[in-house]
Chains A and B, each alone.
Chain A
Amino acid sequence: MKNRYMNPYLAGTMLGIVLLLAMFISGRGLGASGGIKYCVVSIVGAIDRPHAESSPYYSKYFEDGKKPLKNWLSLEILGLVAGGFISGAISKRLKFKIEKSPKISNTRRLIFAFLGGVFFVYGGQLARGCTSGAALSGMAVLSVAGFVTMMAIFGSAYLFAWFFRNNWI
């Protein structure tokens, strides 16, 4: 039994309404890569506290006894995971799976997944936002940064698509 995905235009409208709610209630847009950063910061803080406090990058997250995991973005990504799970449960899509082209091995897919994550979040930190935080939320508030970042992401993905085609098609 195939479980159809929601019509993309309806799903987009739903997503747009969620974004609008975030703007209306909390005065900000959505985000994702920022939450990942907070995870890393708190892990580093837990493992090597002195390093975190002396580094110019990490220290600002621990000033005044702040906890890097107790903020809007960290809770939002927790909700992301919960929401995805609920949707998957409702639509009967819960299943352990590795998605890839049948032409390549699982290992190769996982290696690229890992590398993809490294590049994406690294770039996201540089551009101060990923597709959700900078591109999507940025477009909704008409920011130039959001627009530029979005075009850079999609443009570069199209450019590199040919080189990685074997992984997908």
Chain B
Amino acid sequence: MNIREKLSALLVVIGLILALLPLSGNRSLIVKPQKLLSEALDQNTFFTVDQVARFVVSEDSTILLIDLRSPEEFKSFNIPGSVNVPYNQLLDKDPSTFLGAENMKNIFYSNGDFDSNFAAVIAAGLGYKNNYVMKGGLNEWFTTVMNSEFKGEKITARENTLFETRTRAKKLFTDMNSLPDSLKIKFLKAKHFDPKKLDGGCE
């Protein structure tokens, strides 16, 4: 009898405390080192700039390009369709809002490879899936896509497709990034996804 009363009182008090605590599904960076290492070594976690160019040109909706540079750099130019999450603010908000979508490929990029590699590792460690890095970053994008030129006499079919994709990506990039600021902001707002939609499956 007495135990029942004591236990019930204790449980109700703890329950009240729990109800008032800001409990959220806190993710922690718990990873088996071997798993993380093998993912880092796996070449499939990289996309080349050509592959990204193809995604962008075909308006592939299963990718999410994440630009890790500062907001100023992002505003001056970015890959069309990307979202800006400055590297130093990566974990400021709940990453689930942009990393949590089940079927989306998260493609990180920055100027080079440094920040994007780290971000992809952190995302994997927190348990998010489908994290990729655009190999070479924007530096490679400029070298390969923006400055792509065809030198030589004949062109193979494969080279032709590559050249076409690069040219279209170059045009899209230039067009989008030279929009006046007001239009750019509108375009970016339209591309800003509703966090609620990303909250995975079951309604």
Give me the interface of A with B, judged by CB distance under 8 Å.
Answer: 7, 9-10, 13
| Min C-beta distance of A148 to chain B, whole Å | 14
| Min C-beta distance of A26 to chain B, whole Å | 14
| Min C-beta distance of B2 to chain A, whole Å | 10
The answer to whether the Cβ of B3 comes within 8 Å of any Cβ in the partner chain is yes
Residues of chain B within 8 A (CB-CB) of A9 are 3-4, 7
Q: A interface, by DSSP: helix, strand, loop or mixed? A: helix
| Min C-beta distance of A108 to chain B, whole Å | 36
**A40–B60 alpha-carbon span in the complex (Å):** 48
The total of chain B residues at the interface (CB under 8 A) is: 3
Residues of chain B within 8 A (CB-CB) of A7 are 3
Residues of chain A within 8 A (CB-CB) of B7 are 9, 13
Q: List 6 A-B contacts (CB under 8 A).
A: A7-B3, A9-B3, A9-B4, A9-B7, A10-B3, A13-B7
Number of A-B contacts (CB under 8 A): 6
Residue of B with least CB distance to A144: B202
Residue of A with least CB distance to B202: A144
Residues of chain B within 8 A (CB-CB) of A10 are 3
**A9–B7 alpha-carbon span in the complex (Å):** 8
6 closest Cβ contacts across the A-B interface?
A: A9-B7, A9-B3, A7-B3, A9-B4, A10-B3, A13-B7
| Min C-beta distance of B143 to chain A, whole Å | 45
Residues of chain A within 8 A (CB-CB) of B4 are 9
**A41–B117 alpha-carbon span in the complex (Å):** 45
Q: Which of B1-29 contact A (CB under 8 A)?
A: 3-4, 7
**A10–B3 alpha-carbon span in the complex (Å):** 8
| Min C-beta distance of B78 to chain A, whole Å | 40
**A2–B7 alpha-carbon span in the complex (Å):** 26
**A82–B4 alpha-carbon span in the complex (Å):** 29
| Min C-beta distance of A120 to chain B, whole Å | 28
| Min C-beta distance of B92 to chain A, whole Å | 27
Residues of chain A within 8 A (CB-CB) of B3 are 7, 9-10
Q: Which of B52-90 contact A (CB under 8 A)?
A: none
Residues of chain B within 8 A (CB-CB) of A13 are 7
**A13–B7 alpha-carbon span in the complex (Å):** 10
**A7–B4 alpha-carbon span in the complex (Å):** 10
**A13–B3 alpha-carbon span in the complex (Å):** 12
| Min C-beta distance of B9 to chain A, whole Å | 12
**A7–B3 alpha-carbon span in the complex (Å):** 8
**A7–B7 alpha-carbon span in the complex (Å):** 12
**A152–B4 alpha-carbon span in the complex (Å):** 27
| Min C-beta distance of B199 to chain A, whole Å | 16
Residue of B with least CB distance to A12: B7
| Min C-beta distance of B15 to chain A, whole Å | 14
| Min C-beta distance of B14 to chain A, whole Å | 12
Residue of B with least CB distance to A13: B7
Residue of B with least CB distance to A7: B3
B45-57, CB under 8 A of A: which get 1 and which 0? 0000000000000
**A10–B7 alpha-carbon span in the complex (Å):** 9
Residue of A with least CB distance to B7: A9
